[in-house]
Structure 1
């Protein structure tokens, strides 16, 4: 089968590899669409903390079940599905309480023996697989995983009806987090970025305010002036230097920051602005099964405008171009899909 490899830093190739042989509790999925994620770009750059080249890349997937193991009871051939691409040990306190994302033995595609999803076929344990609604196409199905990230972040933030929310970063995850915040009841959503086309997409997806912060050192004050006060919650979807301190400046007393982005290096911030005003900074790691179910339901209900978010549909042979587009933010790229016949 064809598989898209990050063979080395900044090197994407298509290779022929053996189709996965499924275990008793696994399903084999004919991949129809796979998305390029921001964390895939970290692997592409050689910066990901645990997914290292050479590796079959990808974990955002939608496709059709073509084979099931003898122990599988919930799926059959022909089912249209997506995958929550993480597993746990199954017996630690975190797995037993539904927090597989906390498990010390958490597994994910592209790590160890689990192939990545950007290939013609993908094997996944039954418990990670979810049926798609009959009228949800594969393009929308592939958005379930990244939208679950936004759903989880909004849940961690405790966003409620009437909240004023800033989303820092208008890449796909930031845009999906903003959509999840709106669905949770946020009435004011300000999205920041340095790319005008991404901010235009944020407006089309329902942001009440947008701001290009390039060369605007006082942008935090300008952002608060734009909404007439401080923000209740801040969602960080861009792991750039100084962004924690900037977020604290946006936040009201007792407000909450959730970090979604993947960070490299050290972040510094004014501890007094955190402690003296009882503000909170909360980490956010992937999602739970509950978040994935919610993401499917919310996409089905129209919470995501996929026609705005999905900007490119490429073949496997064009995957290298897709990674370059996402990395360099070329051709107004947001969510780039790799499609398989």
Structure 2
């Protein structure tokens, strides 16, 4: 099988190796499409410290079950699925509550170096980390489930209400996912988008958001909820300066590890600041529902699809100052042809 290996920071190579076999409790998934995440780009360049040389990245994947371990039940060869890359210990309080994103011993397929990811023809996944797909949802669009679940989780934490003003800071793929998810989860909200890149801003406005500049005195009425998809000191400041008293801010973005905030505005304004990380299994299923409800709009989030052979050059492009507006997918399997299932 083919796999994309991060040989070193800034160097991705295509390897050919034996196909892995699923150990107990796991399945092998033939990868159809795998999305390139912003954190993978930062891992590729070495800027975030969360990737290691020699690993196979990729955690946003759709595909078809290829084989299963003998003890796996409830999963059939040929099932169309997306993977939940977040693997909890299964025994702590967080896992037992269905909150594996809070598990202190979690690992992430394609992020944790010891868990090879979905930039490969085949990825090994615990059987409990599969999300079944409806027949109406294409495998191509299904590759958007994982980033969309990130957006759904943040929206759930923010609790938008009918008629509220919601500002999304950052119009990259996650910000775009937030705008799309809001159109289904709270369609009566007035959604604003702050994004300096014209192409990304236009994509978000085509989804129904209104452009705004949080630094402008004419930015409009104070917002009720901010979802920060950047996580930069400037966006933290913008969240506090553009919101009404008693408002909520949910931060998804991980741009900066350390920030200084206006504690006076946070405290005296009784504003809340909430971190958001990954998703729950319920969020993933709701993301599937959003994509099934808005397939035409979701299709606009995909800028291009490349082959594994084109991926090294694609990563160089994505790490450049002029990346595409939306998501880039790697296609590992021609989904017009049946996958040769086997054990």
TM-score, normalization: structure 2? 0.92
Question: Which residue matches 2:336?
Answer: none
Identify the range of structure 1 (5-14 vs 120-129) with the bigger mean alpha-carbon deviation. 5-14
What pairs up with 1:241-320 in 2 under 5 angstroms? 241-302=233-294, 305-320=297-312
Gaps of 5+ in 2: 334-343
Distance in 2 of aligned mates of 1:304 and 1:330:
26
* CA positional deviation for 1:7: 2.1
Question: 2:215 corresponds to which residue?
Answer: 219
Within 1, Cα distance between the matches of 2:317 and 2:249?
30
Please state how far the C-alpha of 1:51 moved relative to its aligned partner: 2.8
DSSP-derived class of the 1:55 partner:
coil
Query: Is the partner of 1:62 in helix, strand or coil?
Result: strand
Asked whether the equivalents of residues 242 and 267 of structure 1 are also in contact (C-alpha less than 8 Å), the reply is no
CA root-mean-square deviation: 1.6
Q: How has the CA–CA distance of structure 1 residues 179 and 4 changed in structure 2, closer, same or farther, with 3 Å as cutoff?
A: same
Asked if the contact 1:313–1:338 (Cα under 8 Å) also holds between the matched residues in 2, the reply is: yes
For structure 1, the residue ranges without an aligned partner over 5 or more in a row are none
CA contact (8 A) 2:36 2:329 kept: yes
2:202 is aligned, of 200, 203, 212, to 200
Q: How many Å separate the matches in 1 of 2:53 and 2:314?
A: 17
Q: Does 1:231 align with 2:223?
A: yes
- Kept in 1: contact 2:303–2:324 (CA 8 A): yes
**In structure 2, distance between residues paired with 1:181 and 1:252:** 20
Measure, in 2, the Cα distance between the counterparts of 1:255 and 1:264: 23
Provide the residue aligned with 1:93 in structure 2: 93
Distance 1:187 1:149 in 2: 19
Normalised to the residue count of structure 1, the TM-score between the two structures is: 0.93
Aligned to 1:58: 58
The superposition leaves residues 115-172 of structure 1 with CA deviations (integer Å, 9 ceiling, x where unpaired) of 1111000110011001111121111110111100000000011112211111011101
Equivalent in the alignment of 1:114: 115
**C-alpha separation in 2, matches of 1:168 and 1:298:** 21
Moved more, 63-72 or 282-291: 63-72
- Please report how far the alpha carbon of residue 5 of structure 1 lies from its aligned counterpart in structure 2 after TM superposition: 2.0
In structure 2, relative to structure 1, the CA distance for the partners of 1:102 and 1:117 (3 Å cut) is same
Deviation at 1:304, TM superposition (A): 6.9
- The question of whether the paired residues in 1 share the 8 Å contact of 2:29 and 2:66 is answered with yes
Change (3 A) 1:220 1:100: farther
User: Alpha-carbon deviations, 1:160-201, whole Å to 9, x = none?
Assistant: 221111101110100101222232225211111111000110
Contact 1:34/1:337 (<8 A) preserved: yes
> How far apart in 2 are the matches of 1:61 and 1:285?
18
- Contact 2:232 2:254 survives alignment (8 Å): no
Distance in 2 separating the partners of 1:164 and 1:143: 26
1:277/1:333 Cα in 2 relative to 1: closer, same or farther (>3 Å)?
closer
Task: Decide whether the 8 Å contact of 1:65 with 1:76 is kept in 2.
Answer: yes
Q: Which residue pairs with 2:340 in the alignment?
A: none
CA deviation after TM superposition for structure 1 residue 271, in Å: 0.8
Alignment deviations for residues 77-129 of structure 1 (CA, whole Å, 9 cap, x no partner): 11111011111111111001111000111011132432111100011001100
> How far apart are 1:266 and its partner, in Å?
2.0
- The corresponding residue for 1:139 is 140
Which shows bigger deviation, 118-127 or 107-116?
107-116
Task: Give me the whole-angstrom Cα distance separating, in 2, the residues matched to 1:284 and 1:331.
Answer: 25
Q: Secondary structure at the match of 2:108?
A: coil
- Structure 2 distance, partners of 1:220, 1:235, is 18
Q: What is the aligned partner in structure 2 of residue 330 from structure 1?
A: 322
Map Cα deviations across residues 39-69 of structure 1 (whole Å, 9 max, x no partner).
1112112133433233211100011111011
Q: How many residues are aligned here?
A: 331
Residues in 2 aligned to 1:258 and 1:220: alpha-carbon distance in whole angstroms: 22
Structure 1: how far apart are the matches of 2:295 and 2:168? 17
